Amino acid sequence: MTQPSPTPGHRERSLTLIDEVRFRMVRRHGYEVDDVDSWLDRLRIDVAEDRPIDAEKLRNTYFRVSRGRGYDAIAVDDFIDSLIVAQPGQSPHGDFTDRPGVARLIEEIENVRFAIDRHGGYDPRGVEIWLGELPEILADDDPELLQMTLTEGFQVTNKNGYAAEEVDRFVDHLTVSLTGRMPPPRPVDPEPETPSGVEGLMTKLGRLFSRG
């Protein structure tokens, strides 16, 4: 499909968005800084030379996910939405599965790694099962099922669990990106009770010495 030619107003809005954007840095699960910066440089040249921006191409823009510091993925995805809206005759996104960032989120889901908290955290088996189901749920394009999945709680383990704060931040990131809303507090299964008697005493002593 032929893209409409940019009007001066649309071109100026796009240039202003590109020139003024500043992305917050995050410690993990952000987009590679070099990838995003190079993409912005190429995009600015296209806009400055009056080449129409292909909104569908914007929706399918992908960046590598950094294992260290990177640009906040939510902010970058929101910026792409803003660019799409700035183009003539465009809306932020079409069908749910065509939304900017959904394919990138699936890539993040498939590659995410969480630190192990030896004092306790979320049961890794449950989290991994949950992560494995998410891409299929997204492909099914069932918003109600997705909402239920995003608010699902995780079982807590006494030791060697996934760091709960990291998992929660990642779930919040997915929820904001896919629904545009921050999630309500997630239900969490109660921590397993400490056994009584000698076994319970040994468990408590083990926790105490493990924190040393």
| pLDDT 10s digits, 129-185 | 898 888 878 777 677 788 888 888 899 998 889 999 999 889 888 887 776 666 555
Query: DSSP of 20-56, one letter per residue?
Result: H--PPEESSS-B-HHHHHHHHHHHHHHHHTTPPP-HH
Q: Would you state the pLDDT for residue 54?
A: 79
User: How many of the other CB atoms lie within 10 Å of CB of 193?
Assistant: 7
Residue 25 neighbours by CB under 8 Å, 6+ apart = 33, 69, 70, 71, 72
Q: Are residues 94 and 116 in the same domain?
A: no
Token digits of residue 193:
């009770």
Q: What is the pTM of this model?
A: 0.44
Domain that holds residue 56: 8-98
Domain-terminating residue out of 76, 98, 120: 98
Per-residue pLDDT at 36: 94
CA distance 71 to 183: 22
What pLDDT score was predicted for residue 172? Answer: 85
Domain count, the chain: 2
Residue closest to 124 by CA, chosen among 137, 136, 135, 112: 112
For residue 3, what pLDDT is reported?
46
Q: What is the pLDDT of residue 38?
A: 94
Average pLDDT, the chain: 75
3-state secondary structure of 64: coil
Q: What percent of the chain has pLDDT over 90?
A: 17
Q: CB count, 10 Å around CB of 157?
A: 19
Residues 87-98: tens digit of each pLDDT: 665 544 344 445
Pair 122, 179 in one domain: yes
Q: What is the pLDDT of residue 39?
A: 93
In a domain, 59, yes or no: yes
